[in-house]
Structure 1
């Protein structure tokens, strides 16, 4: 069966995301949220405004299933609260809480709402390939981000490259004179892309959106005029944009290209910084033995290539990383984010989840494939994976039962400071590859438990609501096998989980690497005897 979508509007998705953030980062930590029958009520602590939303079922752990209507209390009455009214209220509360305004915030929320409207109008018919369909299914985006679909530019500029619109396009090929090529790693990775052959040059794929953004660069224009760089036009092969927008999959070559895009998407401008290009290749050389020992897959990033012109913007803007494909993986890979997304029916379509017993068995298989490699990588090897829902592929058999997990994106992968010898790397590269131990643990626990397993458990419970307590009991049993580590014992003892504060990070305009965390309920804790 092909993935289908549940009813979704830009208004409701924007309202839900704003309220999810508000409850997690503001009302929840200040104990200003409570259930009331079939509703969830939240009070803005400083503005004093009381909001109410529908509640599909009682919350379990750090996630909610909110539903319309979204309302604001006026006197003794509840009146509708539109998405833009909610955005105004959130902005007012954050300004009172921080003492700092953010004139960009409302525009970003509005841009995200407008982008979702455009995506819904442009979305094409489903495709036959279930893996590709899962990559392009995240129409509403991050449920705990205030502006999950915000991106620079007008829809006329980016819809043709948008995974949510089920886009496909042909990358551009450039031919770069041999002495002006910058690269590290195995050059055979680029040969495997199957580009044209130009004597005295090496070929470089480029995202057509990025090529248009760089078209006015004087140094690039001069290089093109002098024949140092040649525009060979569109590729013969189609590329399929994946959930990250800038990383595309080329099915014929079974490879990914992670392009630079000088465009802000959600939080960040999506460029490949020079130290990230080198860092990916460095990690690719350091980590294979670790993942062999873990019995897990980390998709390799064997090489990058760019142009060595005297302009860092061009070096980074034309830098592209080649990533290993998916056809070597067992079963059918599916994006974890698609499995957890409440707006599509991918889980419904997996036969293994058709019964309560089957769903519990599915969950046990899922946790066994995903959680132990992530925790052991950190605790035993000092490797900080970033296993959020867009960075994990879960491979399933014909019934949809998980049989393997593949992790990806070396940009988000870090090493624990002090555990690895990085003296052979430039200082800026080494610094970009490391986290302090506490910072790395917060990232692992947030991505694995709050962003990933909590949302996946909620999606399973959407099918079988009575099962949710058993899901967390089962997850606890899996983690208990690692309870010889004190960090795991603390999780099992019920310490609050660190939830990345996307709303506060957007408000403060901080870099994602420096994001703050707020405490969130921990569903792993065992019930305590009375």
Structure 2
């Protein structure tokens, strides 16, 4: 068997043991999963600065990439903002490829073999996720975690949209939010004087002089490799490692596995900054006239290790009964209305640009950004969660008379390019584009939304320059290069 297809067969074999009734549906979903991942991969190949692509030529039939070794790769035109699978096949010279993992293997580029393994896993996991879906209920969810479990396909633009290396089929079914499980978190007791604690750690997670740290069962088995005490039942959210405790807050656990691009542990740095960032966010919310709320960090603990740490956050439902992640909007009919989409874009840009002018760039992608809806579905406001990846400009804050918080490290920067990339790449090329689903729909929404916005230098950059976006494929093919890498997408407003 050609190795890239091995993952699909291995998933089928394990599924036949743990959930035999899903095997037929899983097999039927594989072609669509390959097309979905190939569409995302082709987006990266056609729009990112890959060193082995020496030229790109567009014609009526599509796009041809000239490779450094003389070969040519041809496929259809790529809408960088499309969320539906549009690419069924591409041709490497005369050989047709409909399997993204096999294509990456045959390209033979540096680090392509490891990436091909991730792509194969993404295809198999995506087919598994789709196979396990019940008929969609027409009733709106009542719990926050129910919204998050409606998001089946993962990241709308990342080729590793469902890649979960290190997770067996049984573990994906047991822990993946799209499979709607209840996860039993464990507790690891750690002496309080050996922990870094910020905020208030609740009494129910203490045992005398010891703190009880919530631990994901996958982490306990595969990373900590130790028995953990029985803890609490929780519902996994779309980030997999963050879960909603029944009737309580959300808990972000350390999960030292690579999902899409990043290993999901919790750094000691982020724990040390969490309380300061949460307090700072509350002062920002006061300046936003009720349009933006931040979920408060209630407490954070690390046992001096990114593999053993946890963060407690309030639920976004503290700010309304209908609060859902922007990524979940695609599971509703709301974005089908151009007027609704324009109003949502106006709200999101108003908030994002106002904060950027003050000196704060949000990582406002569809997972971190949530929207508060009225009973009729109108967008009333926004909620933002997970402050660990925002960027804060002391110079801009000082210019507007905002007290500068005691922050250090990666969140602090006055670099204009970094600040704009952070916001525009996550909000416009991420949350808004993913909600719109195409360049045409995004263009229409933005053209209406920007008409009445204050003409700041940041807005001018958004209107007049290419749109920054993370180079997701390049990042997976550049394991020795730390941090984010970027590309420029055609600006839908130009």
Deviation at 1:293, TM superposition (A): 0.2
Cα 1:43–1:174, aligned 2, differ >3 Å: closer, same or farther? closer
Pick one of 240, 246, 253 that aligns with 2:241: 246
Deviations 1:310-330 (A, max 9, x none): xx4xx3322101111122223
Equivalent-residue separation in structure 1 for 2:66 and 2:328 (angstroms): 32
Alignment coverage as a number of residue pairs: 453
What is the aligned counterpart of 1:259 among 253, 256, 260? Answer: 253
3-state secondary structure, aligned to 2:240: coil
1:491 equivalenced with 2:462 (yes/no):
yes
Contact 2:357–2:396 (CA under 8 A) maintained in structure 1: no
Corresponding residue for residue 322 of structure 1: 312
Residue among 225, 231, 234 paired with 1:234:
231
Alignment partners' CA distance in 1, 2:332 and 2:370:
14
2: distance between equivalents of 1:35 and 1:328? 52
Give the whole-Å Cα distance in 2 for the aligned partners of 1:362 and 1:85: 41
The correspondence of residues 124-523 of structure 1 with structure 2, limited to 5 A, is: 129=141, 131-153=144-166, 154-187=168-201, 190-191=202-203, 195=204, 198-216=207-225, 231-235=228-232, 238-253=233-248, 255-295=249-289, 296-307=292-303, 312=304, 315-340=305-330, 346-348=331-333, 350=334, 359-380=337-358, 382-416=359-393, 418-419=395-396, 430-437=408-415, 438-458=417-437, 469-478=443-452, 481-483=453-455, 485-492=456-463, 494-509=464-479, 514-523=483-492
Alpha-carbon distance in 2 for matches of 1:373, 1:468: 18
- Does the Cα contact within 8 Å between 2:266 and 2:307 map onto a contact in 1? yes
Residue-by-residue CA offset, 1:154-190 (whole Å, 9 max, x unaligned)? 2333431111222221211344444444311123xx3
Partners of 2:100 and 2:120 within 8 A in 1? no
Q: Which consecutive residues of structure 1, in runs of 5 or more, have no partner in the other structure?
A: 1-5, 222-230, 341-345, 526-530
- What residue is the counterpart of 2:20 in the other structure? none
For 2:206 and 2:273, the matched residues in 1 are separated by: 28
Shift of the 241–124 alpha-carbon distance from structure 1 to 2, 3 Å rule, reads: farther
Q: Distance in 2 between matches of 1:44 and 1:162?
A: 39
Query: How many angstroms does 1:275 deviate by?
Result: 0.6
Secondary structure, in 3 states, of the residue corresponding to 2:437? helix
- Aligned residue for 2:408, secondary structure, equals helix
Question: Paired residue for 1:20?
Answer: 43
Deviation of the 1:273 alpha carbon: 0.7
Q: Which residue of 2 aligns with 1:83?
A: 100
Q: Distance in 2 between matches of 1:73 and 1:183?
A: 54
Q: Distance in 2 between matches of 1:482 and 1:31?
A: 39
The SS at the match of 2:127 is helix
* CA shift in 2, pair 1:452/1:31, >3 Å: farther
Encode CA deviations 1:470-492: one digit per residue, 9 max, x unaligned. 323213314xx221x22322322
* Distance in 2 (alpha carbons) for counterparts of 1:449 and 1:215: 39
Q: CA RMSD in A?
A: 3.3
Are residues 7 and 474 of structure 1, via their aligned partners in 2, closer, same or farther at CA, if it must alter by over 3 Å?
Answer: farther
The 1-side partners of 2:427 and 2:460 are apart by 16
Pair 1:329–1:40, CA change in 2 (3 A): farther
TM-score (norm 1): 0.76
